[in-house]
């Protein structure tokens, strides 16, 4: 459930009237004047003919038209296997005798429940109970935790973490640049990666990880995690270009018989949206709290004090004024990020955080904030699309659940 | 894909094929390629007036919404309704997948638009 910011349909982008080429330029010039950061696989993506965009200051592939484009990439992950370069994600190592205490203080989930080799979803919060970022916490060893964080929030997260762990005996080191992170996702991910490693992947449970040899690289982190609502793995290999390219090519070769395709941020966004996985800057932000985002099952209010707890106790007692729901368009139209939501009397009640056609479901879906009285399943609301109010209904989430293994 | 020589092209990447007083309008191959998988086309109703340079509809891919700009002014006399059911036809052959048929108010209005060669150069510069 590694999250990242896809600005493909950011608010300004989807509601502002511009020509399409102005739009494309907008996508690639948000950091104008700054040099975009590149992953070690940048040349590989370009060689594959990927469309590149500026994503949180990173020059990243959005889709690979030569191998079929976004929808094909999405469907490959649902039915076979796809591979993603997610090296732009950040990594923070927290190590030291009080590493656990530090993690418990800065992260809302209960890291004392983690065993070595286990990971969980969590979030870093401000004292207000709103989000600094969401994270995956990995327990690497007794006094050794790895936090995987978003690309666009790397610097912010790192300085926030350093500040907040300073009272504990531990180090917080940004090790994001040391790794090329490749996600191999889909029902055939295990069969693909198994060809390249001596680790018995069938023994790694969901949200667990092991170290082993991958592509002849010893001691490689292999985690059964992802951001696609599908089975899959994320591997962390040295970030030098030759090694990164070699691993990418070997994964490509291993997945060939299963129809593996490289996947960009576009498919990553539609896959995570179908699985109702939060995206920073959309479903979660510094103005949205844990209960509103309906992520309270990852927030352990009963554990000892942590940043944001006091504020969240008040929120819990008072109740929320808005809550995240899943919507499906009933009428013809595609809800997009930032579109307004209305009730049947024409009163504005909320807004869409992420909206898109859902390639696996062949429906137009959205996540939106609405008042709790409008959140029950089946409830009708209206999304305003270019001046027209499109009937939509609240549906159960996640929109997509992967089939159980038979 | 080759750009038909008998079409004219806008900077906003629409094409127009003029035959006498009427014209077909669509988006270019470059436009469909930039947009990616097209999933939704919203067009005006027959009888609507469109104005050169003004929006007459929208086309949406999975990841983006784009306005459609009229290459010339006129009255919509036909709409390609088949694009409701199969918007992907625009990806398959953008220069055949016309969107609206116009009865032109002033056919000479299109004189200032780009010819195929100019448009190809324009696209190459954009890339």
A132-178: pLDDT as tens digits: 999 999 999 999 999 999 998 999 999 999 999 999 999 999 999 99
Question: Are A310 and A237 contained in the same domain?
Answer: no
Domain that holds residue A147: 90-174
Is there a contact between B40 and A63 if contact means CB atoms under 8 Å apart? no
Q: Which of A150, A174, A198 is the last residue of a domain?
A: A174
> What ipTM score was computed for the predicted complex, to two decimals?
0.88
Residues A157 and A261 in one domain: no
Q: Classify residue A287: in a domain, yes or no.
A: no
- Do A103 and A187 lie in a common domain? no
Which of B13, B45, B65 to mutate to probe the A interface, most A CBs <10 Å? Answer: B65
Indicate yes or no: CB of A386 within 8 angstroms of CB of B55: no
Read off the pLDDT band of A28 (50, 70, 90). very low
**B49 in contact with chain A, both atoms CB, cutoff 8 A:** no
Number of H helices, E strands in chain B: 4, 9
Nearest CA in chain A to B62: A357
A305 and A389 in a single domain? The answer is yes
Q: What is the DSSP string of chain B?
A: -PPPTT-EE-TTSEEEEEETTEEEEEE-HHHHHHH-SEEEEE-PPTT-EE-TTSEEEEEEESS-EEEEE-SS-EEEEEE-THHHH-TTHHHH-TTT---EEEEES-GGGGGGSBPHHHHHHHHHHH-
Mean pLDDT throughout A350-372? Answer: 97
For residue A334, give the nearest of B11, B35, B60 by CB distance. Answer: B60
Option in B33, B36, B69 nearest A19 (CB): B69
Pair (A320, A247) in one structural domain: no
Q: Name the residue among A9, A17, A71 with its Cβ closest to that of B64.
A: A9
Name the closest residue on chain A to residue B58, using Cα atoms: A386
Based on the fold, state whether residues A150 and A191 are members of the same structural domain: no
Domain boundaries defined on chain B: 10-126
- Work out how many domains chain A is built from and give that number: 3
Tell whether A75 and A97 lie within a shared domain.
no
Please report the number of interchain residue pairs, chain A to chain B, with beta-carbon separation below 8 angstroms: 68
Smallest Cβ–Cβ distance between A69 and the set B36, B58, B64 belongs to B36
Give the chain B residue nearest A22 (alpha carbons). Answer: B12
Are both A58 and A198 inside the same structural domain?
A: yes
Last residue of a domain, one of A221, A244, A274: A274
Q: Does residue A383 form part of some domain?
A: yes
pLDDT value at residue A194? 98
One domain, residues A223 and A264: yes
> Average pLDDT in the A46-64 region?
95
Provide the pLDDT for residue B126. Answer: 77
* CATH code, domain carrying A207: 3.30.1360.120
Same domain flag for A75 and A192: yes
**Chain B hits for A20, Cβ within 8 Å:** 12-13, 31, 34-35, 64, 66-67
Instruction: Identify the CATH assignment for B10-126 out of 2.40.50.100, 3.90.1150.10, 3.40.710.10, 3.50.50.60.
Output: 2.40.50.100
Considering the domain boundaries, does residue A185 fall inside one?
yes
A104 shares a domain with A26: no
Report whether A122 contacts A128 (CB < 8 A): no
Q: Does residue A77 share a domain with residue A99?
A: no
Residue A369 maps to a domain: yes
Q: Is residue A6 part of a domain?
A: no
In angstroms, how far is the first alpha carbon of chain A from the final one?
Answer: 23
Q: Is the pLDDT of residue A385 over 80?
A: yes
pTM of the complete model: 0.91
**Cα–Cα dist A326/A392, whole Å:** 10
Q: Give the distance from residue A33's alpha carbon to the nearest chain B alpha carbon, in angstroms.
A: 19
């Amino acid at each position: 459930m590694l999250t990242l910011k896809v600005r493909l349909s950011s608010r300004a982008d989807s509601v502002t009237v511009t020509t399409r080429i102005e739009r494309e330029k907008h996508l690639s010039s948000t950091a104008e004047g700054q040099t975009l950061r590149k992953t070690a696989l940048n040349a590989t993506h370009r060689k594959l003919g990927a469309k590149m965009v500026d994503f949180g200051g990173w020059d990243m592939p959005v889709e690979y038209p030569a191998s079929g484009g976004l929808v094909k990439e999405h469907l490959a992950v649902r039915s076979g296997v796809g591979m993603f370069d997610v090296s732009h994600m950040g990594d923070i190592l927290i190590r030291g005798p009080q590493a656990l205490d530090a993690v418990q203080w800065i992260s809302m989930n209960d890291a004392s429940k983690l065993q070595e080799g286990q990971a969980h979803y969590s979030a870093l919060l401000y004292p207000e109970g709103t989000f600094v970022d969401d994270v995956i916490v990995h327990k690497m060893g007794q006094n050794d935790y790895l936090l995987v964080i978003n690309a666009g929030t790397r610097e912010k997260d790192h300085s926030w973490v350093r500040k907040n762990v300073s009272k504990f005996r531990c180090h917080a080191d940004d090790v994001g640049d040391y790794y090329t992170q490749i996600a191999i996702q889909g029902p055939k991910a295990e069969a693909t990666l198994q060809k390249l490693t001596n680790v018995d992947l069938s023994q790694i449970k969901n949200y667990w990880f092991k170290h082993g040899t991958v592509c002849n690289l010893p001691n490689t982190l292999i985690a059964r995690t992802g951001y696609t609502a599908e089975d899959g793995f994320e591997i962390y290999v040295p970030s030098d270009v030759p090694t990164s390219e070699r691993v990418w090519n070997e994964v490509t070769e291993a997945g060939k018989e299963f129809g593996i395709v490289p996947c960009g941020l576009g498919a990553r966004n539609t896959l995570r949206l179908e699985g109702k996985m939060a995206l920073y800057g959309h479903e979660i932000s510094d103005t949205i709290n844990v209960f509103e985002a309906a992520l309270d099952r990852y927030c352990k209010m009963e554990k000892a004090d942590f940043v944001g707890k006091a504020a969240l106790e008040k929120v819990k007692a008072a109740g929320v004024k808005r809550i995240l729901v899943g919507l499906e368009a009933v009428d013809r139209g595609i809800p997009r990020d930032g579109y307004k939501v209305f009730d049947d009397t024409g009163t504005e009640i909320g807004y869409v955080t992420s909206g898109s056609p859902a390639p696996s479901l062949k429906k137009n879906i959205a996540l939106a904030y609405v008042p709790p009285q409008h959140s029950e399943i089946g409830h009708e609301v209206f999304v305003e699309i270019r001046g027209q109010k499109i009937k939509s209904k609240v549906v159960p989430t996640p929109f997509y659940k992967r089939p159980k293994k038979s | 894909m080759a750009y038909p020589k008998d079409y004219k092209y806008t900077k906003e990447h629409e094409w127009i094929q003029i035959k006498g007083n009427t014209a077909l309008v669509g988006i270019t191959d470059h436009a469909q390629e930039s947009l990616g998988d097209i999933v939704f086309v919203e067009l005006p109703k027959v009888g609507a007036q469109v104005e050169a340079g003004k929006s007459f509809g929208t086309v949406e891919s999975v990841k983006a919404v784009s306005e459609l700009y009229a290459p010339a002014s006129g009255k919509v006399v036909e709409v390609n309704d088949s694009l409701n059911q199969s918007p992907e036809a625009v990806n398959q052959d953008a220069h055949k997948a016309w969107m609206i048929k116009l009865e032109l108010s002033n056919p000479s209005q299109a004189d200032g638009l780009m010819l195929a060669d100019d448009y190809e150069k324009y696209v190459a510069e954009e890339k």
